[in-house]
Chain A
Amino acid sequence: MSLETKSMKKLSIFMMLVFTILSLVGCGSSGTKDAISSSKAADEGEKVSYDKDQTLRTILFSPLSWDSTQCYDTSTSTVLSAVDAGLYRVYNDGKNGEKSVPDGAESYELSKDGLVYTFHLRSNNKWSDGVAVTAQNYADAIVRLLTPKNACPYAFFGFGIKNGEEYYNGTAKKEDLGVKVVNDTTLEITLDEPDPIFLNKISYQCFMPIRSDIIDKTGDKYGTDLSSQVFSGPFKVKVDEYVKDSKLVLVKNENYWDAANVHLERIEMTDIEEFSTQAQLFESKQLDITGSLNDYVAKWTKEAKQGAFRSDISNGTGMSYWAFNRKTGGTSGLMNNAKIRLALSLAYDREGYCNDLVKRYTPAYGIVPLVIHNGKDIYRDKVVEPLKAAKEKYNTKEKLQALFHEGLKEEGKDVDDLSKIKIEFISYGTDAASISYFDWYKQTIEKALGITLKVTALGDYYAYSDAKAAYKYDIYSSAWYADYDDPLTYLDVFQTDGGNNSMKYSNTEVDGLLKRLKGLTDQSERLKIYTQIEQILTVDDPAIIPYAYSDVRRFTHNYVKGFQTPSFGPTYEFKWAYISGK
């Protein structure tokens, strides 16, 4: 059948052309690889030179609320730390560990009993609208944080302040709070008991100064109305360039007390969810800092070695673990036996997990990760991981199985064939990576102990949470991140009936030791107690199977200098960053 006419022919030729072009657009390729500048950083020496264009481009950190007292997540914390000046600021140059340096405060005095902090504020710090930052602004923040009707997530950070928890629970009045404005530049905070990590806590964004005149004016819209916000930090938000969840631009705040030492003029944050897009922008220098995804790690690490950019790996505060169901003793009924729990813990192939399976992180033979301080020292430098000695002692499959059998005998449930013992494990995740992890767990644990591990993978976090609360399992997987820089943030989880003790662990010795820590300021005494608690929690009466300490990986262009990544609170710290030699 011929249906062609002249006009149709013309049309079809035109359409063919369009179609071909479109096909080419889709499938054609110029075949050139993206060139990456391999030039080394312009200044590798010590001399500091600042580029004319001081613009830093990063991915978006989208604040959930502009109300700093509502801050609880890293995105909000990152932005607020750039635009607000707390009393103290976390400083971490990657060399000497983390410390708190004066920001809104110039200095502080601590009373002899360790209870009263007197902060001396700077007289030259102003809000972005020119109004002076006063002690009242900091005091207002503490009151707002602890006012129950505001339901601030991190209210508990203020519970250590005198009558803080009582005020939150409605049993004390505002006037009784241990917060006193002596004058515009002097703020006095009284604690219930000495707290060696108070400065660390007070650096968190929920304690940033606030302006009650603006809160009164904006009412319920305070947290979401950006246009009325004022800023006290090194940077301020460029409101007219803000697109929610898409773009945020920060510019230098000339009113900040230390503006002379802030070099970045502009920070452009753009939402780039797709990692391959991030990668392309990073390679073409339209993005100055990026995280890393497995696909790019090998390639970029190689290029970083050749000097194209910097690859930074630092230890994180995360600790991944498996926890035992102590509420019911588990579906197997064996989880109340310490020997069985220790055998399971030692059967976990930590080296295999880090080196072969995920190819990152550090094997964990203790609970407290590598970055945590005890006073001025890194805790892990002083305390050997308790599971290492246990691993030496039970270093063969036979010894491990013997330990497991001992436990079974104690429970009156010994069997000849260990494969008849079924331990139930729950976790969540349905993606290919998660499934391969679950297979690996099953294989390695079964091989190491000869028991049967039944893995149940729930669809998502919520289903998992629900299943967790039903206590129909032996072991669940989880991770813990620090709230502040002290071993206590990992160890007080295991207090009997503690709010986060969802495995329902209970050990009177641990409870007693935790009680002794209250108000104890002698760091060497604290270290001794922490060491004992960690030993009990991992070896003597294991609460969990710790298996990996997290890390933080980042690729940065050579021209980005002075840029910091704190372990606590904000993900990025911009104050000291600058561009040199782009």
Chain B
Amino acid sequence: MCIPCKKGGERMVKYILRRFGEMIILLFIIFTATFFLLAAVPGNAIDQKMEKFPESVKENIVHKYGFDKPVLERYAISVKNFVIDHQFGESIVNPGVTLSSLLKDKMPISMQLSARQILFGVPIGMILGIIAACNRGKRIDYFIVISSLVITSVPTLVFALLLQKYFGGRYGLQIIGWSQPGMGFVDGLSYTLLPTLSGVFGYIVGYSRLVRTTMLDSINQEYTMTARAKGLSEARIIYKHVIRNSFIPVCTILPGTIAGVIGGSLFIERVFSIPGIGAYYTTAVSQRDIPMIMGQTMLYTLIYLVSILVSDILYTIVDPRIKFQ
């Protein structure tokens, strides 16, 4: 692996700093755009709640949440809260819930669930992809490709429901819930196994297909032929030349996959009643819960931007020909 030389290191630091600068500008633009888009969309979080109330009560509630202020004033308040206090405010629909309370109470559970799926699914998927590529045209290749196709077409929700129906409540496995701190490994597993399995197929299938395709591409390259002509063993060819070169696309996808961990698995959390962050974002949007939409939008944007930066850095490590500019 190429350890960047001093000059390269300086360049890398500069590059990263510049990217962070761009990121801050971009975040601010997205903050502003989200704010004004939300202001333009009909309805607000308290409309439905107040539908039946007398006028004086409605006015009072509108005033309490500041919806009677002009848009620009509300924007100024939001910017101030965001820039100075790093706050997005309390949920209007669900008092007491803030972005930080979600990060503290709900996100760790979602992350545990997704991390298990990734740790389990991504390596298996990659290994299967390698096996399929190495055995192109053989039965095992067909088996992997066809099974992938079948599994891809089954939605996660269906996997979750089937697993729950046929395994939940049996073999010591729980129908709903999530492991709690202090639970032993086996007890914890009785909660986590089915939700983990429900989501793992997506990763296995996705990564096996990706790796298979990119490996087949590398196998047909001239450098592979050269390596073979040199008389290297097949294992060495695969390990040293093919796999490494086929990892660039994986580097593009992987940080995104890991960033996706934060979002949790909506359907799986729903089916197994896992107290994760799952539906909070979509609910916030459908209920026009502006502080929560703003907070979560900014969070996901940040994570996404960082994951892009990480993939760009990974490129240069996997393929030293790619340089920072």
Interface residues of A (CB under 8 A from B): 1-5, 7-8, 11-12, 15-16, 18-19, 22-23, 25-30, 34, 64-65, 70, 72-73, 148-149, 151, 153, 155-156, 159, 165, 168-169, 223-224, 243-247, 270-274, 276-277, 280-281, 284, 286, 460-463, 465-466, 483, 499-500
A461 touches B48 (CB 8 A): yes
In Å, the complex CA distance between A34 and B44 comes to 44
Interface residues of B (CB under 8 A from A): 41-44, 47-58, 60-61, 63-64, 93-97, 101, 105, 124, 127-128, 131, 134-136, 140, 143-144, 147, 151, 154, 159, 161-169, 175-177, 197, 200-201, 204, 219, 233-235, 237-238, 270-273, 275, 279, 286, 288
In Å, the complex CA distance between A29 and B170 comes to 13
The distance from the CB of A161 to the nearest CB of chain B, in whole angstroms, is: 15
A151 touches B60 (CB 8 A): yes
Chain B residues near A462 (CB, 8 Å)?
41-44, 47-48, 288
Given contacts A1-B136, A280-B168, contact A15 B48 (CB under 8 A): no
Can you sample 17 A-B contacts with CB below 8 Å?
A1-B219, A19-B124, A19-B204, A64-B95, A156-B54, A159-B54, A243-B105, A244-B97, A246-B273, A271-B273, A272-B176, A273-B273, A274-B161, A277-B164, A277-B273, A284-B169, A462-B44
B151 touches A271 (CB 8 A): no
Minimal Cβ-Cβ distance residue in B for A225: B96
Chain B residues near A284 (CB, 8 Å)?
169, 175
Given contacts A25-B197, A280-B164, A281-B176, contact A244 B169 (CB under 8 A): no
The distance from the CB of A491 to the nearest CB of chain B, in whole angstroms, is: 14
Chain B residues near A483 (CB, 8 Å)?
52
B275 touches A246 (CB 8 A): yes
In Å, the complex CA distance between A425 and B104 comes to 46
The distance from the CB of B203 to the nearest CB of chain A, in whole angstroms, is: 11
Question: Can you add 12 more A-B contacts, CB < 8 Å, to A26-B197, A244-B101, A280-B169?
Answer: A5-B233, A15-B128, A30-B166, A153-B57, A247-B275, A270-B273, A272-B176, A274-B161, A274-B271, A277-B175, A277-B273, A281-B175
B96 touches A466 (CB 8 A): no
Chain A residues near B197 (CB, 8 Å)?
22, 25-26
Chain B residues near A270 (CB, 8 Å)?
176-177, 273
In Å, the complex CA distance between A541 and B67 comes to 38
B43 touches A463 (CB 8 A): yes
In Å, the complex CA distance between A554 and B211 comes to 51
A12 touches B159 (CB 8 A): no
Given contacts A22-B197, A244-B97, A277-B271, contact A499 B134 (CB under 8 A): no
Chain A residues near B51 (CB, 8 Å)?
500
Chain B residues near A23 (CB, 8 Å)?
147, 151
Chain B residues near A159 (CB, 8 Å)?
54
The distance from the CB of A522 to the nearest CB of chain B, in whole angstroms, is: 27
The distance from the CB of A489 to the nearest CB of chain B, in whole angstroms, is: 10
Minimal Cβ-Cβ distance residue in A for B158: A26
In Å, the complex CA distance between A461 and B43 comes to 8
7 residue pairs, one from A and one from B, having the closest CB atoms? A462-B43, A224-B96, A466-B42, A246-B275, A151-B64, A3-B134, A12-B131
Chain A residues near B54 (CB, 8 Å)?
156, 159, 499
Given contacts A3-B134, A8-B131, A499-B55, contact A276 B161 (CB under 8 A): yes
Minimal Cβ-Cβ distance residue in A for B157: A274
Chain B residues near A465 (CB, 8 Å)?
42-43, 47-48
A286 touches B175 (CB 8 A): yes
In Å, the complex CA distance between A245 and B94 comes to 10
In Å, the complex CA distance between A500 and B50 comes to 10
In Å, the complex CA distance between A34 and B175 comes to 13
B162 touches A463 (CB 8 A): no
Partner pick for B53 among A2, A7, A22, A499, CB 8 A cutoff: A499
In Å, the complex CA distance between A23 and B177 comes to 24
Minimal Cβ-Cβ distance residue in B for A8: B134
B200 touches A22 (CB 8 A): yes
The distance from the CB of B296 to the nearest CB of chain A, in whole angstroms, is: 15
Chain A residues near B95 (CB, 8 Å)?
64-65, 70, 223-224
Partner pick for A15 among B43, B127, B159, B166, CB 8 A cutoff: B127
In Å, the complex CA distance between A159 and B43 comes to 28
In Å, the complex CA distance between A270 and B176 comes to 9
The distance from the CB of B311 to the nearest CB of chain A, in whole angstroms, is: 27
The distance from the CB of A2 to the nearest CB of chain B, in whole angstroms, is: 8
A3 touches B168 (CB 8 A): no
Chain A residues near B136 (CB, 8 Å)?
1
Chain A residues near B56 (CB, 8 Å)?
156, 165, 168-169
Chain B residues near A280 (CB, 8 Å)?
164-165, 168-169, 175
Chain A residues near B154 (CB, 8 Å)?
26
Chain B residues near A244 (CB, 8 Å)?
96-97, 101, 105
Partner pick for A26 among B61, B96, B131, B163, CB 8 A cutoff: B163
Minimal Cβ-Cβ distance residue in B for A33: B165
In Å, the complex CA distance between A481 and B242 comes to 68
Minimal Cβ-Cβ distance residue in B for A458: B42
In Å, the complex CA distance between A270 and B191 comes to 15
Given contacts A3-B135, A22-B197, A29-B162, contact A64 B94 (CB under 8 A): yes
In Å, the complex CA distance between A3 and B228 comes to 11
Given contacts A64-B94, A273-B270, contact A12 B140 (CB under 8 A): yes
A223 touches B49 (CB 8 A): no
The distance from the CB of A148 to the nearest CB of chain B, in whole angstroms, is: 6
